[in-house]
Chains A and B, each alone.
Chain A
Amino acid sequence: MTALASTSTQASTAPRRRRGPGSARRRAGSVFAGIAAVIVFFASVFPVYWMINTSFQPNAQVRGTELHFWPDNGTLENYTNVIFFNERAPFLPALANSLQVTLLTVVVALVFAFLAALAVTRFRFRSRAAFIITILLVQMIPAEAMIISTFRLMDSWALLNTVAGLSAVYIATVLPFTIWTLRGFVNGVPVELEEAAMIDGLSRSQAFWRITFPLLAPGLVATGVFGFIQAWNEFVFALVLNPRPAAMTLPVWLRTFLDPNGGTNWAELMAGSTLVAIPVVVFFLIVQSRMTSGLVAGAVKG
């Protein structure tokens, strides 16, 4: 905060005051840095901008001979077509599936992971180390390696093409990461706080719910949002386990627009991509500053 601001001003003014002759080279250096910053900005943003720009143009214009860097004949028809008039794979059921699967995943995974995180951080017990190592290792098993046997498992439980089946798989997928991240947050609340409350006459569970839990709320929100993003974006399992149009989630729905033979309607596809991306981007911007060690520890981007 203030410390950051003051160090950056120090870095920029102090050396200049100290040595005059080098200042021309320094200024050239900061011009160069400014140019590099602008390049990095445009390289990062261009695909996002191009997606939104295309999504507001009529398909005929997108397929025209001119580039339009601004949607001059702006239209919402791509969005309305994608949302309401897509018979092959309707949008609204896919949206409903995505929301149900994601919410179920986040809620169940948070509750289960929270309990496990408490066990790992607040108690000493045999095989605690073994459990933590298992969690870290399980996180690294690639989904692609598990698709066949998971498919068979869900098939044998008659859970293919169901919200419950896909959610169950997602819960197991995000659980290790969620436990690991929550463990960090619970560790951050000193046990002494709880103990002080217990000396003041609260029972252990009262102390926990009244003192520790409120302090953990931001951590729970941040971890939950990252579970949300993972479940919302997941593609492999959704593709294999829920291929029916009625059971599709949004990523699989989005794929139905792709036509390898060149018939892809890019304007509508960009509208679809934007719709899928919006919730993730919004949530991501909300929590990114809160996520700390969890990102280094987990597998958010797969």
Chain B
Amino acid sequence: MSSVRDDLGPAVSGIEGERLLAPPLRPAPGARRRRRQGGFTPYALLVPSLIVLALITGWPLIQLFVMSFQKFGREQIFGAPPEFVGLGNYAEVLTDPEFWQVLGRSVVLAAVCVVATMILGVLVALLMKRLGAVLRTLVSVGLLLAWAMPPLSATIVWGWIFDTQYGVVNYVLSNWFGLPFEGHSWLIDPLSFFFVASIIIVWGAVPFVAFTVYAGLTQVPDEVLEAAQLDGANGVKSFRFVVLPVIRPILAIVTILQVIWDLRVFTQIYALQSIGGLAEETNTLGVYIYRVSLGSGDFGVGGAISVIVVLLLAAVSIFYVRRSVKEEEL
């Protein structure tokens, strides 16, 4: 391991022979990276990005905020002046029991998916650490394939696997195990719908967690682990006291990212509804915004929900940003 680059995290790779990077070194005190005082140049370099972000992200964000205080329906889209309603939209959203149902549903779904993803991801990472080269390559290739599948393709394929009439799951359960699953609809019942949705989300997310945690595990010094074993620590104990402290920062950041991604899940839920779920009973926050604003044409209320979701995610993101900024010397 000759190349040590102190700016990159551990390489996300489980394949034997791939480049693995050492963990970031703590910068020695006083050894700050030297940067030029560039006068006007840095601002000039930032201009293109700033223009794009201001026009296409910033401006709509402001519009969204303004719109959330307006009565904004189909007439307004066609030119009627919007009427200012103060906090009316927010009051409407926050007193609507459906919003709370959707919010609760999203939070529970995200919680289940994050917990399942993290547990499975860490277990697979630990497994990869134990395996020999051949089996580890096999597992890596499988995980990479799952990781690379576009979310929409993945959802459609899982929808096919769980299909009511011709799905392989129903076939195997009824023909091989003699269970009454012939013609069973997995998507019509909301609970079962979210069971399938969780499988799709977790299946797509485990590879990322597994590779990242595995990269962290390779940084645990073998000598320390052996010493712990010689001192009589069993597997659980050496994980708890030797491995966990090393990978804790990685676990923290990966968990935050999973929370953010799973709270805002759209494609999987929307596509699964198109395959055959009851939309009213299975909406999550992202899909709900889509249906309220573009489905019913109530852009003001949709805007209010959007602002609430942005604030919710911003609150979660603060942890992520603080951690990332801590790594960076600002």
Contact = CB atoms under 8 A, between A and B. Distances in A.
Interface of A: 1, 3-5, 7-8, 10-12, 14-15, 29-30, 33-34, 36-38, 40-48, 50-51, 54, 62-63, 67, 111-113, 115-116, 118-125, 128-129, 131-134, 136-138, 140-153, 168-169, 171-172, 175-176, 179, 184, 187-188, 191, 232-233, 235-236, 240, 251, 254-255, 258, 260, 262, 264, 266, 269-270, 273-274, 276-277, 280-281, 284-285, 288-289, 291-293, 295-297, 299, 301-302
B52 A171 contact: yes
Interface residues of B, number: 126
A296 to B, nearest CB: 6
B191 interface: no
A295 to B, nearest CB: 5
Main SS of chain B's interface residues?
helix
B142 A144 contact: no
Contacts of B274: 255, 258, 260
Interface of B: 1, 5, 7-13, 15-21, 33-38, 41-43, 45-46, 48-49, 52-53, 55-57, 59-61, 63-64, 67, 77, 124, 127, 130-133, 135-136, 138-139, 141-154, 156-158, 160-161, 163-166, 168, 171-172, 203-205, 207-208, 212, 218, 222, 226, 229, 250, 253-254, 257, 260-261, 264, 266-267, 270-271, 273-276, 285-287, 289-290, 293-294, 299, 302-303, 306-307, 309-310, 313-314, 316-317, 320-321, 324-325, 328, 330
A111 B293 CA distance: 35
Nearest to A233: B150
A175 B254 CA distance: 21
A47 B49 contact: no
B137 to A, nearest CB: 10
B313 A142 contact: yes
B230 to A, nearest CB: 9
18 contacts: A4-B218, A5-B133, A37-B136, A40-B139, A116-B45, A116-B49, A123-B35, A123-B45, A142-B310, A147-B290, A148-B67, A153-B56, A235-B271, A236-B267, A273-B153, A288-B147, A289-B12, A289-B18
Contacts of B314: 137, 140
Given A132-B330, A284-B147, A297-B324, A146 B152 contact: no
Nearest to B37: A124
B267 A188 contact: no
Contacts of A273: 152-153, 156-157
Task: Sort A-B residue pairs by CB-CB distance and give the 9 closest, nearest first.
Answer: A144-B286, A44-B142, A172-B56, A149-B60, A284-B148, A119-B45, A123-B38, A145-B306, A293-B9
A270 B317 contact: no
Main SS of chain A's interface residues?
helix
A136 to B, nearest CB: 5
A29 to B, nearest CB: 8
Given A4-B16, A273-B152, 5 more contacts: A37-B127, A37-B139, A148-B302, A172-B55, A292-B12
Contact of A12 (B16, B42, B57, B132): B132
Contacts of B1: 1, 3
A182 B48 CA distance: 16
A40 B124 contact: yes
B95 to A, nearest CB: 21
A168 B54 CA distance: 12
Contacts of A266: 160, 163, 166
B282 to A, nearest CB: 12
Contact of B204 (A12, A50, A148, A301): A301
A145 B164 CA distance: 33
A49 B235 CA distance: 35
A82 to B, nearest CB: 13
A260 B185 CA distance: 12
Contact of B171 (A48, A67, A176, A288): A67
Contact of B321 (A3, A136, A299): A136
A149 B67 contact: yes
Given A47-B154, A136-B324, A289-B18, A115 B48 contact: yes
Q: Give the interface centre of A15, A149, A179 by most chain B CB atoms within 10 Å.
A: A149
A54 to B, nearest CB: 7
B133 A33 contact: no
Contact of A302 (B38, B46, B261): B261
